[in-house]
Amino acid sequence: MRFWQSIRFKIVFGFLLMIAPMVLFLIYNNLYATNVVRDQISLHYNKLMAQQVQNNDAILQETMRYLYRMAMTDAGIQSLQTLSLAENDSEYTMAKVELANRFLNDTGYYNKVDTFFVYSRKDDDLFFSTQYSFHFAEVQSALLDYTTKLASKGLPQESQRWEQFSIPNDTNYLIKTVNWGSDDIYIGALVQVDRLNEEVSKFDVGPDGATFVVDHDGNALTNSPLPVVQEKLVHNDIVEMTKQGRTSWNKDHFLVISHPSAISDIHYMIVIPENYILKSLPFFQKMLSVWIPLIVAIVLTLYLVFLQRVMFKPLVGLVRGMRKLGQGQFDVRMPVNTDNSEFTFMSRTFNLMAEQIESLKIDVYEEQIRVQKAEYKHLQIQINPHFYMNSLNIIYNLAALKDFKSVQKLSLHLADYFRFLMLGHRTVLPLEDEIKHIEHYLEIQKIRYLTKMDYEIQVIPEHLTVQLSPLLLQPFVENSVIHGFYKKVQDGLPFRIGITSSIDEDEPERYIRLKIEDNGPGFPEPFLDDLRSGVHFAESGDHHLGIWNILRRFKMLYGNEGGITFMNGESGGAIVQVRLPIQRPNTFEGEEYSTAG
């Protein structure tokens, strides 16, 4: 086969012929669009930041004017100037309470303000009203220390800026204090830096971006986690921008935007990763004219037609053939072309493989049927010696008692009983035959134990024709006699065995339920635990009367249909419940049912 005829060459050559011009164009378009997006994002966030900083400064200015109005005109402040804590503590305290209530009401309007406070220098007394702080004692101590020092050195009347203020174990604040017209009363307000950053923090900066506030040295004042700030390049830009007041773009990592406050020494910062800014860049829509999409569409159409004829059509045919082969249609064959391509080789190989699988599958299936039949017959035969030994014991006991009438009656039951066992070639039989076989067994036991044992069989007539595996129920009855009868507490009541049938509640058209129960001591709990956990009793011998044998035969005959459940009754006694399929699956093909003679 020539190289140019291979599928590999055709696909690679056609792909390169179509994609190369598009790739070159898109690279150029991507670079251009990226620069445009960077510039637009920077401009957009600069405008948003400037507007928000102006809003915050306006709030701080209004708060400052409120403090001046309080200092100049408020009656409560004026009364504090005239009253003294030592001379008239009740009126002084009442004035403080009125001011505290006034501050609480006003914080609803000045919602950025965390705390209003008043300090009386002549009484060295500080009181404040706060709405956000959870560190009351630390706030009181820090404010008292601040106002004491401030009163000792005096407050410049012309100061219009807010200062930074820190409280141990608390967040960072801005503080403004006034004492208009008096050197004895100082009134001020605290604003959390985090509160000023609330609106900026709502900007979309991505999961790895950050919005925060820094001081003039570039140190973060907000409490939110800022891992991006630890980036060395970002931190250096922050320090430089706080000194120069500029917007900086770090091309390798981040867009960093800064805007200073006009009335405090703080800078609002935004850091946005470059990959988040460019994630939604529509590469295939920017700066494309009408004819470029048209050419691309034509080229793609021609290339798809080419792939359809050369690759897709034979590939789809090969996939369909494999799907049919997987579904069991072993006679499927692929058409073989004469172009000497890879698909010709694959078609020939597929046809050869299908022929081999068809032959192998038939041989394996037939061998599995033979093995399953042999194993099933072996499992049936395993039960017969156990019944035989029990029957001999009963005959021996009756002969020893010289109860010849019972021997005669027993002989008839044993004849039917062993006639049933001798027909061991049957795979299934009607439920009616199994019930008769159980009746023979129970009558033999009643002859042996007289009034100490009784039984009752109630089977719906319509269920008597349902097919089941021979000796599927009888071993459970025998298990009840051997384990339940001998272990039953002697309370004067006979040992009873009940066999009933009922309609399956979940799927009455597919299953019936058969229940075998007694009034003995029931199954031991360890035995039930082993059954629930899936532990079988392959090495238990006669101890459990071939329960593993029955479960194995049930699995072979019915597969995953139905099941056998073991439990104890609420008032004691063992219960075995069989969920029996009405229609038996064709587990052993060619196995014919044979009725009992």
DSSP per-residue letters across 422-485: H-TT-S-EEHHHHHHHHHHHHHHHHHHHGGGEEEEEE--GGGTT-EE-TTSSHHHHHHIIIIII
Distances (CA, A) of 25 to 11, 17, 28, 48: 22, 14, 5, 34
Query: Which of the two residues, 27 and 374, has the higher pLDDT score?
Result: 27
Distances (CA, A) of 459 to 472, 477, 498, 500, 514: 16, 15, 10, 5, 8
Angle at 514 between CA 508 and CA 517, to 5 degrees: 140
Nearest to 309 by CA among 357, 285, 343, 349: 343
pLDDT in tens, 60-91: 999 999 988 888 887 777 777 777 665 667 77
* pLDDT value at residue 538: 44
Q: DSSP strand E in 33-171: where?
A: 113-120, 125-130, 163-166
Provide the terminal-to-terminal Cα distance of the chain, rounded to the nearest Å: 73
Domain boundaries, the chain: 3-55+197-277, 74-196, 394-581
Q: What percent of the chain has pLDDT over 90?
A: 14
Rounded to an integer, what distance in angstroms lies between the CA atom of residue 331 and that of residue 362? 12
The model's pTM: 0.45
Tokens of 223: 């409490």
Distances (CA, A) of 481 to 273, 395, 434, 500: 81, 17, 17, 17
Question: Could you tell me the sign of the dihedral formed by the alpha carbons of 98, 103, 108, 110, in that order?
Answer: positive
Nearest to 282 by CA among 507, 68, 28, 37: 37
Whether 121 and 151 have beta carbons less than 8 Å apart is answered as yes
Pick the CATH number of 74-196 from 3.30.450, 1.10.3470, 3.40.50, 1.10.10: 3.30.450
Backbone angles phi, psi at 581, to 5 degrees: -65, 140
Do the bridges between strand 495-503 and strand 453-458 make them parallel or antiparallel, or are there none, so unpaired?
A: parallel
Taking all residues of the chain, what is their mean pLDDT, rounded to a whole number? Answer: 77
DSSP state, residue 220: B
Backbone angles phi, psi at 176, to 5 degrees: -135, 130
Q: Tokens 């009983």 correspond to what residue? A: 417
* pLDDT value at residue 511: 94
pLDDT exceeds cutoff 70 at 591: no
pLDDT in tens, 402-417: 767 777 787 788 788 7
Do the domains 74-196 and 394-581 sit in the same CATH topology, yes or no? no
* pLDDT value at residue 60: 92
Pick the CATH number of 394-581 from 3.40.50.300, 1.10.645.10, 3.30.565.10, 3.30.420.10: 3.30.565.10
Backbone angles phi, psi at 306, to 5 degrees: -60, -45
Tokens of 150: 């401030």
pLDDT in tens, 333-356: 777 776 666 777 777 787 788 777
Fold of 3-55+197-277: Beta-Lactamase (3.30.450)
Q: Which residue type does 557 have?
A: L
Whether 446 and 477 have beta carbons less than 8 Å apart is answered as no
> In which band, very low, low, confident or very high, does the pLDDT at 286 lie, cut at 50, 70 and 90?
very low
* pLDDT value at residue 252: 58
* pLDDT value at residue 516: 95
Distances (CA, A) of 332 to 33, 326, 361: 55, 11, 14
- How much is the average pLDDT of 570-579? 91
Rounded to an integer, what distance in angstroms lies between the CA atom of residue 476 and that of residue 92? 97
* pLDDT value at residue 384: 47
